[in-house]
Amino acid sequence: MKIIIATLGTRGDVQPFVALGKGLIAAGHQVVLATCEHFEPFIRAHGLEYGYVNNELIEFLHSEDGKIAMENSANLRETIATAIRLGPKLGAMVRRQMDDMWAACEQHAPDLVIYHPKVAGAADFAEKLGVPCILAFYLPMFAPTSEFPVARFPEWPLGGWYNRFTYRLVRGAFRLVSGRVKRWRTQHGLAARSPALKLQLPDGRPIPILQAYSPLVIPQPSDWPDWAQATGFWFLDEQQDWTPPKELVDFLNDGPPPVYFGFGSIFGRSPQRVAELILQAVQQTGVRAILLRGWGGLEPPARALGDNVLFIDSAPHDWLFTRMRAVVHHGGCGTTAAALRAGKPQIICPFFGDQPFWGNVVAKLGVGPPPIAQRRLTAERLSTAIQQTMDNPTMHAKAAELGDRIRQEHGVAEAVAFVNQWYDKLR
């Protein structure tokens, strides 16, 4: 079977799908991963075919407007104002992304489309090709349940009706921004109304939903149908092909395990300020520290650093995190999952999107303190969180126990079995 995986976003939106693609290839399938061109070398290095999509989204996220939009996303009024100001620019960008993604689907003629919900029109492309599709995501947002609300909605004690209602709201929000999909459908000879907006295939059956997270972290609801499954995280193990630099090995050997600090590839407007407050917190708490510089990451200050601090450009999480005392990060799903699997406590300092959700999940599991929003991040607050984490043996024990259990899961294998099962049912 030939499968196209369609995804858009940051590295965190691509890497889990690379892991899934490798699992599908190992099961005998041919896989094309279509996403921004920036990730083509990464995708091909792992043995997947690549489908072209322009880099406009990545360039926007790293632009001043993109950083402002992300920093404003925690405030509803500012979010609306930013959306109004950037609306025409973003609308044209989405249209060009749709054109590129459809061209990739046409070119590769798949038997199945697996898609991230950020990819506008992906299920409609599958309908035009006459093939089934599967939605895949790392947040509980699309398969309704009475047991908890959509990610990032408040967990009010109003009962199952409220929880289910939040999923209806999300589907309604997708309908509000469906104009470009409607135009694409009419231009390509399809009925204007997309069944995908109801998460349905053209014949009325539900679109199967893969949830790329561990049921140990977010329990699978008892009222989910068989077309929705939390498989376990989709880990991409990279340490086998990586040799750590001598400077990093020497630093790790020179003292007790350090604390990792890294805030992802899409950073705010003040990486120097954040690096400086981290260094102040490190000095106040006396911990050893590794800071991730990387693309778009923290920027070292001009002043000299102490022997207890090391900046690095990159390192595989599956290698590095097992050697840390704790992990301080932005709360992306992939980094959260890697720290959980490593069995390490984590302090989450979210910027936007799903990151506050994962911060609250970690705190609820008892493997980290409450998250500190980047807007509220100070050296004093970070120092307090570090000290609370270092001095909490219960937190370390819970993190280690959960890590043991997550390492026994096989998320990619479960996802591949789900894909095979539902393709046989749907074709």
Clarify whether residues 193 and 313 are in a common domain.
no
* 261 lies in the same domain as 390: yes
pLDDT given at position 57: 86
Residue 369 pLDDT > 70, yes or no?
yes
Angle at 403 between CA 253 and CA 213, to 5 degrees: 125
Q: Model confidence at 69, in pLDDT bands (50, 70, 90)? A: low
DSSP of 251-284:
HHHTSS--EEEE--SS--S-HHHHHHHHHHHHHH
For residue 327, pLDDT over 80 is answered with yes
265 pLDDT band, cuts 50/70/90, is low
Q: Are residues 288 and 326 in the same domain?
A: yes
* Average pLDDT, integer, range 33-51: 96
Q: Are residues 151 and 131 in the same domain?
A: yes
Tokens of 231: 């498989």
Do 187 and 40 have their domain in common? yes
pLDDT tops 80 at residue 217: yes
Task: Name the residue type at position 322.
Answer: T
Residue 179 is predicted with a pLDDT of 84
pLDDT of residue 53: 96
Confidence (pLDDT) at 76:
47
Residues 200 and 257 in one domain: no
Percent of the chain at pLDDT exceeding 70: 90
| pLDDT mean over 179-205 | 93
Residue 227 and residue 114 in one domain: yes
Mean pLDDT on 32-49: 96
Q: Do residues 199 and 332 both lie within one domain?
A: no
Query: Using CA atoms in the order 9, 354, 213, 40, what is the torsion angle rounded to 10 degrees?
Result: 10
Average of per-residue pLDDT across 384-413: 97
Worst-scoring range by mean pLDDT, 49-53, 91-95, 171-175, 197-201?
171-175
Number of domains in the chain: 2
pLDDT at residue 141 is higher than 70: yes
The answer to which of 63-72, 153-162, 288-297, 345-354 has the lowest mean pLDDT is 63-72
**CATH number where 140 lies:** 3.40.50.2000
Q: What is the mean pLDDT of the chain?
A: 90
Indicate whether 358 and 375 sit together in one domain: yes
Give the domain range for residue 39.
Answer: 2-233+409-426
Which strands sit side by side in the sheet containing 309-312, from one edge to the other?
309-312, 289-292, 259-262, 326-329, 346-348
Tracing tokens 């799908």 back to the chain, one arrives at 17
| pLDDT tens digits, 297-316 | 677 775 657 789 999 988 99
Per-residue pLDDT tens over the stretch 85-131: 666 677 788 899 999 999 999 999 999 999 999 999 999 999 999 99
Neighbours of 89 (CB within 10 A): 12
27: its two tokens: 């099961």
SS3 category, 309:
strand
211: pLDDT strictly greater than 60? yes
Do 192 and 328 share a domain, yes or no?
no
Note whether 334 and 369 are same-domain residues: yes
Tokens for 66, please give them.
């993109």
**How would residue 241 be classed by pLDDT, with cut points 50, 70 and 90?**
confident
State the pTM of this model: 0.92
Residue 84 pLDDT greater than 90, yes or no: no
Residue 149 has φ and ψ, to the nearest 5°, of -80, 175
* Torsion angle of the four alpha carbons 399, 403, 404, 405, in this order, in degrees rounded to the nearest 10: 110
Each as own residue / partner, the long-range contacts of residues 311-315 (CB below 8 Å, 24 or more positions apart, any chain) are 312/245, 312/248, 315/242, 315/244, 315/248
Same domain, 220 and 109: yes
pLDDT surpasses 70 at 16: yes
Average pLDDT over residues 283-291: 95
